[in-house]
Amino acid sequence: MAANLSDDADRLLCIGQLTSIATQLYLECITFYRSCLQKLSQNNRLTDPTFTRLSRNFEALVLWGNGYGIAYGGLHDALLSSRRARRCYFESLTSLCSTLLCRLLFYCSTSELRDEAKSLKRTLEAGIVCLEDTCKDGDSTTTDMSSGLASDDSIDEVIKDLEVDVDGLIAMDSLITCPAGRTREQPRIRLDERL
């Protein structure tokens, strides 16, 4: 186990499996994202077009997750059978969570989201370990949670990064529907045999 994990993340890894961490990370991510949107809608720090863009990105994430039934384990088989799918999932989702925690949270009322942020951070740490385990060949591209908010980070840059991460999850569709492990050549059936 990685030495930089908190005790809670260690415990989560001991009792959880890769797939339960994948599901929990997604669920906590959308819960936290929704809470951020609610706070942002109340504090009027964003223009209407900017808030709409952020809301649409959230909706795309939720629709994608609902389409695969992630809350009910809909991606378990794909994540267990395909290393590329697992890597794509954890890279995009850990990056998304890190952006929410380290950059979008700056624009919200942080004191009201403290408990949710702690929970997401703990699960994010476990997700990063799953990503590191998937990338054992040394080319690890893990998320840096210590980066914090750059003072020149505009909300548009934050939203763009969130959009890139959600697009990364949506791009997984080809890995899920046709993982590399499957044979590419299907047996050919003549037209008269199908009729």
What per-residue confidence (pLDDT) applies to 8? Answer: 43
Cβ proximity of 103 and 158 under 8 Å:
yes
* Total structural domains within the chain: 1
pLDDT in tens, the chain (195 residues): 344 444 544 544 444 566 688 888 899 999 999 999 999 998 888 899 999 999 999 999 999 999 988 888 888 888 888 888 888 998 999 999 999 999 999 888 778 788 888 888 888 888 888 788 777 754 545 445 444 444 468 999 999 999 999 999 999 888 877 655 544 444 445 545 545
pLDDT at 176: 79
Q: Is residue 145 one of the residues assigned to a domain?
A: yes
Residue 192: inside a domain, yes or no? no
Nearest partner of 133 among 27, 30, 5, judged by Cα: 5
Within a domain: 61? yes
Kindly state whether residue 194 falls inside one of the protein's structural domains: no
* Residue-level pLDDT at 13: 45
pLDDT at 191: 47
Asked if residue 195 belongs to a domain, the reply is no
Residue 122 inside a domain? The answer is yes
Phi, psi (deg, nearest 5) at residue 114: -60, -50
Considering the entire predicted model, what is its pTM? Answer: 0.77
Number of other residues whose CB lies within 10 A of the CB of residue 17: 12
**Is position 5 within any domain?**
no
Q: Does 94 map to a domain?
A: yes
Instruction: Give the three-class secondary structure for 144.
Output: coil
Concatenate the DSSP letters of all residues of 3-38 into one string: TT--HHHHHHHHH--HHHHHHHHHHHHHHHHHHHHH
Cα 154 to Cα 150: distance, rounded to the nearest angstrom: 9
- HEC letters along 48-67: HHHHHHHHHHHHHHHHHHHH
CA distances from 183 to 40, 55, 162, 179 (A): 48, 39, 34, 9
| Residue 104 domain boundaries | 10-177
pLDDT computed for residue 82 by the predictor: 83
